[in-house]
Amino acid sequence: MADRDAAERDLIRSRLAQSRAELRTLLDPPPGESGGGAAGMNGHAGFPRSHTMQMLLSSRGLGALGALAGGLLIARPALALRLLRLVPVSAVGKMLMAKAVSALKSKPPSAQ
């Protein structure tokens, strides 16, 4: 009976190891395969790795988040202000300043 239990445990462990390996291959792309969208989006080749965060940090994602925040502010201002207190202001300020500076740098000089 103990041999049968040990064999079942070994089988379960091997299945778990196989499923973990499959998950790693799905979630962690190979190092040579760098998506052009991640590098071109924010200048850092490996950050963010999550597809969700890449989408949220793109210009369309930021626009959608802004629209969502505006709708929440209009519909439920008390909840929006309560959630706003949870946001790290210094980090958001740094991000906005970096975006503004990069936008000013990329703006072509106007012809006079």
Residue 25 lies in a domain: no
The pLDDT value given to residue 29: 64
* Count of domains forming the chain: 1
CB 29 within 8 A of CB 35: yes
The number of residues in the chain equals 112
What distance in Å separates the CA atoms of residue 29 and residue 79, rounded to the nearest whole number?
38
- Residue 38 inside a domain? The answer is no
68: containing domain: 50-104
The reply to whether 109 falls in a domain is no
Please tell me the predicted confidence (pLDDT) of residue 90.
Answer: 84
With 0-12 CB in 10 A as exposed, 13-18 as middle and 19+ as buried, what is 58?
middle
- pLDDT 10s per residue in the chain (112 long)? 688 889 999 999 999 999 988 888 877 766 665 555 444 444 555 677 788 888 877 878 888 888 988 999 999 999 988 988 888 888 878 888 888 888 888 877 665 5
Residue 40 inside a domain? The answer is: no
pLDDT of residue 39: 47
